[in-house]
Every structure is written in C-alpha cells, then in structure tokens.
Amino acid sequence: MTDRGHHLNLNRGKEGERVAKVIARAGLCSRRDAERWIADGRVSVNGKMLDTPAFTVGPADRILVDGRTLPAPEAPRLFLYHKPVGLVTTVRDEKGRPTVFAHLPPGLPRVVSVGRLDLTSEGLLLLTNDGGLSRYLELPANALTRCYRVRVHGAVNAARLARLAQGITVDGVRYGPVEARIEGGSGANVWIAVRLKDGKNREVRKVMAHLGLQVTRLIRTAYGPFQLGYLPPGSAMEVPPNDLKNKLAGYFGQRSRLPSVNRNGQE
C-alpha cells in the first residue's frame, strides 16, 4: 500500500537525480510522460505516493510505477527513421490522422521521438528507447545542428537569406542564427539549404513566410551527427552502438556518472 496523502521531503541534498528522469531512462516512457504519470498518482517512492515530479532519488530509493518495480534500464539505442509526408509525430492524434508510431517498421522496441516533424514535413526523425537520450538531443544547450532542404515558392532574395545568420524575430519570437543558401531550382520554385540549432516549432516555415516565401516541400536531411542519406521513406535503421557512443560521447560520459537506483522488492 502507498500513502497518497503523505508529502515527501523534497530537500534531499545534491546527490541523485529527478525521479521522472530515472523512469524515462528505464525505457517506460518519455520524461514528460513520467511527469504526467506522477501527477496521475501512478508513481511511489519508498512506499509514499508522489504528487510532484520535483523529487530527487538516489541509489537506496525504491521506485514503483503502477505498483511494479522499474525494469533494469536497457542500453540506449537510436534509430534513424525516414518520415514520409502525411504522418503526425505523436502516439495518438485528436483529429484521427495517421501517426508515425502506428506506421513504424516491425521489430522496433518502444521508442520516443527526438523532437517532431509536422504532417507535411518529411525526412530524418530520430527515435530512441531512452528518454534521457531524447532529452539530451533536444536540449538547445547542446546546440545540435538540424539541416533541411526546403523548396519554396516566391521571389528569393539571396541577401535577405544571408542576413538570417544574424538571427531574426518573427511575430515576437526570437530565432537564433539560421544559415540559408540557394541550392538550386529556377523561376518561382527554388531549393534552399537551411541549417539551424534552435529547432523551435515550425521555425523554418515561419522564417520563410516572414521573407514572403511559401514552403512547398521540407525535408530534414540531418540532425546533429546523424544523416538521412539514402534511407527509403517509411524505413528505419539502427545506429550501431559503438558509433552512437562515439558520436554522443558527452551524453554517455554524463550517463556513466549517474547513480543506479534500487529496483528490488515488491509492494
């Protein structure tokens, strides 16, 4: 039994890490989902039900989700997925539109996406079984470059594209430096190569619209050190473990210093 009404001591010192992060690293869900599970009363620590995700756990703490101990964390895995147009990057869609997760190739473990691509965007979408890795790849502080090929309709001004390298404010939202150069095409349909690090919601489309350009096709070709290459639409490929560790040495170095958490015992 767990005590829902008992407030846990939140001042637990500097050691350990947030409980939602531990749950995500165990591969049950994303960190944000873990925070929702806590709010729904599904998570307890040492027999006491949590009512806030602002709680730090250490090696001696016993975490239960729905009355069950956490599974041992799987080794982090990362998959490159070529998202086609027409799928939304969500598990369930309120409008009933087809989703990425309902159309993944067979044989993948439970995965979460690293960021999103909207319904009409295509290209590289990273998928991982590790919520902590997803968070690491998304954090602006880690400044991973996203690369896109963007087809636009309209009069393209090379000088205005070049000025995007200084950053730009659109509808009150400040976007960081954007590298944009004309790649090809002719007339009113031109391909532009875009590189950016912010990755804010619909950033490429909003910036192009601010320049009077309508995006008619948007393909993400790279995310950090990972490339789409010639991966066919709708297919996925795992990044080899050694390659993953080499390319994300910062994350794996940080992860090796995290404390393990007690998973023994039943309640």
- List pLDDT tens digits, range 234-251: 999 999 999 999 999 989
> Does residue 187 or residue 50 have the better pLDDT?
50
CB distance 148 to 221 below 8 Å: yes
Residue 199 has pLDDT above 90, yes or no: no
Q: What integer is the mean pLDDT of 2-18?
A: 54
DSSP designation for 231: P
Looking at residue 185, what is its pLDDT? Answer: 78
Can you give the pLDDT at residue 71? 83
* Residues 76/130, Cβ–Cβ less than 8 Å: yes
**What mean pLDDT is reported for the chain?**
87
Q: To 10 degrees, what angle do helices 249-256 and 131-138 make?
A: 130
* Count of CB atoms situated within 10 Å of the CB of 253: 10
pLDDT band at 28 (very low <50, low <70, confident <90, very high): confident
Catalytic residue from among 40, 118, 130, 198: 118
Q: How confident is the model at residue 255 (pLDDT cuts 50, 70, 90)?
A: low
| pTM given for the model | 0.78
Does 118 qualify as catalytic in the annotation?
Answer: yes
Using pLDDT thresholds of 50, 70 and 90, give the confidence band for residue 7. Answer: very low
- Of 6-10, 134-138, 193-197, where does the model show the most confidence? 193-197
